[in-house]
Amino acid sequence: MDLSNTDTPTTATLLLLIQSDRNRELLADQLSDEFEIQTVATDPFDDPSFDLCLVDPPSLREHQDQLRETTATAEPAFLPILLLAGQRSPDEFSDDVWDVVDEVLQRPVAKAELDARIENLLERRQLSLELARQKIQSDQRFEALFQSTPDPVVVVTPDGTITEANEAFTRTFDIESSQVQNQPITDLELSPTDAVERVLLRIADDNPSSTTVEWNLDEDTSLVTEVNTDIVTGFGDVAERIGIFRDITERAERERELKRQNDRLEEFANTVAHDLRNPLSIAQGRLKYAQKTGDDEHFEAIESAQDRMEQMIEELLSLAKQGQAVLDPDEFLLEDAVDRAWSHVETTNATLDVDIEDTCVITADEGRLCELLENLFRNAVEHGGETVTIRIGCLPDAAGFYVEDDGPGIPPEKRSDVVQAGYTESENGTGFGLSIVQQIVDGHEWDIAISEGTAGGARFEISNVELDRACRN
């Protein structure tokens, strides 16, 4: 019977291994109306195509090893062997005979009993062929899904040896296919390897597991994956663990962005509750005195408190939105952004020294970069005085830019505090300017460092910025 097609009924083939020519001919005549009969011509095991073998004890002794090998090769399909034992009792046969033989018939054999035995064995074979065919189709479908899935998939043995890896796995992790098969997964240059061992080598754990791993594919590229693993069978003789690596980099970034937004919202709410209370209390208190006395000084104090609250609200609103990631930056001249920012700040007698090539191009969100510069300029004027000198220029190798002044500077122990929302030592300051700077830096995925300037004042270095070669010093 054809293993690939069991839907169309076919005539079963019986192999008769009967030593006596007369008995073989009689048996063949008896069965030929219903079955294809195959008798020994040369070697019936060169290309075995029978569905059931009827054998007598002498022929069994002669062909026992060949029958054992043939039935083993036929697995998982069932290839039955029926022993016509003559008058010998089944108890007389050794144990190794039963490793080959499935059923035994003793003489005298009634035709009805022989037909029933043959029919039963062939039904079992037919069922096994159908199951084997379904398994082949299932394996083919699984292999097609295994290779076509866009997610990297790998299968490892209990000792960590890779038995299967799909094309997405080798492509994602930039590994040659020849390097994967039969290699320990810990030998692959994946980072972090401890995460691989943790989720893929727990074969003793029968429960499915899932974890999130961030892979460093190279210096500039990282991949966040959700690794789902489970125990599978069918790839080999032992249970193995399959690992499916689902790319969730965008989702992870959205979650990080959501966390940043929630943090800003919480910071915003706390700051509003805390920092607006003081000018509001002043305004309420002065209003009571103004109602009683009518003195102009109280109205002036109320107006000043209102102005301060308006300034704080504007900066708080800016703070609440500035940490959002910059997804679509533009290219523009850095000097133009500097000029625009300087024009928006009340600088009175302050001086701006620009040490930037007029062809220097920066890639950023122009509006947010201008606001960053405005806050740095305003901070310098606020703390350095009306005649402060501010200098802006590019860092070596176009790594970014700096803004420094000749004011009193920021002590080292306070440099990490000044970028926190609400931190200020100035009576007129809101404490939000440098926090807004930090949020804009984070939104661009830049870095900021505070140090002492060349004239002793504060120096802010913004690095990891995309500047063109014209900006090199």
User: Measuring CA to CA, which residue among 445, 467, 462 is closest to residue 324?
Assistant: 445
Q: Which amino acid is at 367?
A: G
Q: Which amino acid is at 437?
A: V
Statement: the pTM of the whole predicted model exceeds 0.75: no
Q: What is the chain's pLDDT, residue by residue, as a tens digit (473 residues)?
A: 554 444 545 789 999 999 999 989 999 999 999 999 988 765 677 777 889 999 999 999 989 999 999 888 887 889 999 999 888 887 788 888 888 999 999 877 788 899 999 999 999 999 999 988 888 888 788 788 888 888 888 888 888 888 888 888 888 888 887 778 888 877 776 656 565 666 666 544 566 777 777 777 677 777 888 888 888 765 555 678 888 888 888 888 888 878 877 776 776 666 566 556 656 766 778 788 878 887 878 777 777 777 767 766 776 666 555 556 677 789 999 999 999 889 888 877 899 999 998 889 999 988 889 888 988 998 898 888 889 999 999 998 778 999 999 999 888 888 876 777 555 555 555 556 788 888 889 888 899 999 999 999 999 999 999 988 666 55
Which of 391, 402, 440 lies closest to 419 in space, CA to CA?
Answer: 440
Q: Are 350 and 389 in contact (CB under 8 A)?
A: yes
Q: For 84, phi and psi rounded to 5 degrees? A: -90, 95
Distance between CA atoms of residues 119 and 142, nearest Å: 34
Q: Which helix (H) or strand (E) holds 106?
A: strand 103-106
Alpha helices (H) along 149-191 = 167-172, 177-180
